[in-house]
Structures are given as C-alpha cells and as structure tokens.
Amino acid sequence: MAEMRGFIFAVSVIVIFSGLLITIPTDFLGEGATPDTAISPISPNLISDFTESESYTYSNFTLGVHSYNLGDWEWLVGYSAQNFVLGVKEKFLTLWFGGVSYCKFISDSGTDRGNVLSLTEIADDAEEGEIRYNLIFEDTGNSGGALVFYWNTTLYSDPADAWTNDVLYLLHGLGIDELDGSIGSLLINLLFFQLPDMPFLVNLILVTPLWAMIGYIIWFLIISMIPFLGGA
C-alpha cells in the first residue's frame, strides 16, 4: 500500500508539473534569439519572440516555389500572379505525396487575409515598409509562427517593385510555442537540458526531482510485474 501511494504521488507530481510547465510565459524561457538570417535591418519588436527563423527573397524561388526546413516542418512558399501561399508538406511515414497544409495570414490588426496573400494587401497592411502576419493552419487552427515582410521604402514605395528588384524580404519565424508547444515535448526537452535559454543550474534544479519520480515509477512497475513473471 505504501508503494502504491508513492506511485500515485509520483505520477501526480509529473502530471501537475507538466501542466504548469506549458503555462510558463515565453519571456520566462528567454527573450528569443535575434534571427541571424535577417537580410536587412528590421524592427526588433517584430521578431523578438522568434527562436528560429528563415529569411528569403525573390532570388530564392525556383519556378515560383521555395522550400525550406524550419522547426519540425518542411515548408513550401509559392508565388504566382503577385500572390503568396505558404504551408507545410503533409507527409506519411516521412514520404510526401504532394499534399500541403496551408496557413492563413492574419495581420497585426486582426484582418484575416485567408490562405492567399497579395502584394496589394501587403502594401495596404504595412507601415513604413514592415508588416507581420501571424500564421494559422487552416485544418487545425494551430500556429505556424509568423511571416514578416519588409523593404526599404526610401528606395521602393511599393512592395511589388521591391519584390521584382529582389529587395522585398520575407522572414518566417517560430517561437517557443510553435517549437515546443506540447506538454510532452516541453517535458522531454527539460529532462534532457534542451529548453532554449534555460540556465543549466535552473534546469538541473527542476529536473532532479523529476528524474527521481521517474526512477520510482520504473522501480514500482518492475516490482509489480515480478509476481506475474514468476507465475509464468
């Protein structure tokens, strides 16, 4: 009975701790790295929550399509007739059969531009040559990070002109919420000292009792199975 109470306590602690872990504000997990892939100066407030990012321009597109890996996804961005679409490859057992899960573009003001974003809409939404769109997967409603468009308005007042001259910059960023948004992934990263910007000593203090609980659970399961193994 004492062992059972210890088992229930250990499981409860891990479940409660995991639930609390996912509610930690992003700021407590670090400010986020300033993307080193930014091609041109950009307002820091647009990218302050990015942990990983990918930057590209017109020259990165081949036949109107650019593919890149960011986070746990392989992304496809397409451009045609002054319109952009963005999504991730839908894979089955690591194989891609052509399916794409598309994102909607939500402007800073909350305007839903749907899954097709035009250069005209970018011009309307931008302020001083900068605009950030939050990305929401159409099929799940989950976040796909944010996509920032920016250009030098002194040289090009219109994003269409900046695009054709290869100076309309696109910066796709993911924060801790997109990279480690599930309880399981957050807990695993904590256990193996892989949470971004988490000081080692703080991580060690948090993870030591968790490993003790996990060890107790494993020990309890082993001794609970011994009678059955002996009977076999």
Regarding whether 132 and 52 lie in a shared domain, the answer is yes
Regarding whether 160 and 101 lie in a shared domain, the answer is yes
Q: Considering the domain boundaries, does residue 179 fall inside one?
A: no
pLDDT band at residue 231 using 50, 70 and 90 as cut-offs: low
Mean pLDDT across 176-201 = 64
Report whether 173 contacts 50 (CB < 8 A).
yes
Q: What's this model's pTM, rounded to 2 decimal places?
A: 0.64
Regarding whether 144 and 69 lie in a shared domain, the answer is yes
Report whether 26 contacts 136 (CB < 8 A).
no
Number of H helices, E strands in the chain: 6, 9
* pLDDT tens for each residue of 128-176: 999 999 999 999 899 999 999 999 999 998 999 999 999 999 999 988 6
* CB neighbour list of residue 204: distance below 8 Å, 6 or more residues apart: 193
Regarding whether 37 and 20 lie in a shared domain, the answer is no
Regarding whether 157 and 129 lie in a shared domain, the answer is yes
Regarding whether 165 and 81 lie in a shared domain, the answer is yes
41 or 123: which carries more pLDDT confidence? 123
Regarding whether 68 and 19 lie in a shared domain, the answer is no
How many CB atoms sit inside 10 A of residue 106's CB? 18
Mean pLDDT across 117-135 = 96
| Dihedral (CA of 57, 62, 63, 67) sign | negative
Q: Considering the domain boundaries, does residue 44 fall inside one?
A: yes
In this predicted structure, what is the pLDDT of residue 35? 46
In this predicted structure, what is the pLDDT of residue 38? 61
Q: 3-state class of 119 per DSSP?
A: helix
Q: Considering the domain boundaries, does residue 192 fall inside one?
A: yes
Phi, psi (rounded to 5 degrees) for 168:
-95, 115
Question: Which residues span the domain enclosing 147?
Answer: 33-174
In this predicted structure, what is the pLDDT of residue 179? 58
* pLDDT tens for each residue of 190-229: 777 766 556 778 778 888 888 888 888 888 888 887 776 5
Q: Considering the domain boundaries, does residue 191 fall inside one?
A: yes
Regarding whether 168 and 54 lie in a shared domain, the answer is yes
Q: Considering the domain boundaries, does residue 190 fall inside one?
A: yes
How many domains are contained in the chain? 2
Regarding whether 208 and 145 lie in a shared domain, the answer is no
Q: Considering the domain boundaries, does residue 132 fall inside one?
A: yes
Regarding whether 188 and 170 lie in a shared domain, the answer is no
What type of residue sits at position 130?
E
What type of residue sits at position 230?
G
Q: 3-state class of 58 per DSSP?
A: helix
| Residue reference for tokens 């409860």 | 12
In this predicted structure, what is the pLDDT of residue 127? 93
Mean pLDDT of the chain: 82
* pLDDT tens for each residue of 82-108: 999 999 999 876 788 889 999 999 998
pLDDT band at residue 23 using 50, 70 and 90 as cut-offs: low
What is the C-alpha to C-alpha distance for residues 138 and 220, in angstroms, rounded to an integer?
A: 44
Q: Considering the domain boundaries, does residue 208 fall inside one?
A: yes
Regarding whether 188 and 158 lie in a shared domain, the answer is no
pLDDT band at residue 31 using 50, 70 and 90 as cut-offs: very low
Q: Considering the domain boundaries, does residue 100 fall inside one?
A: yes
Phi, psi (rounded to 5 degrees) for 95:
-100, 140
Regarding whether 20 and 80 lie in a shared domain, the answer is no
What DSSP letter does each residue of 183-229 carry, written as one string?
HHHHHHHHHTT-STT--HHHHHHHHHHHHHHHHHHHHHHHHHHHHHH
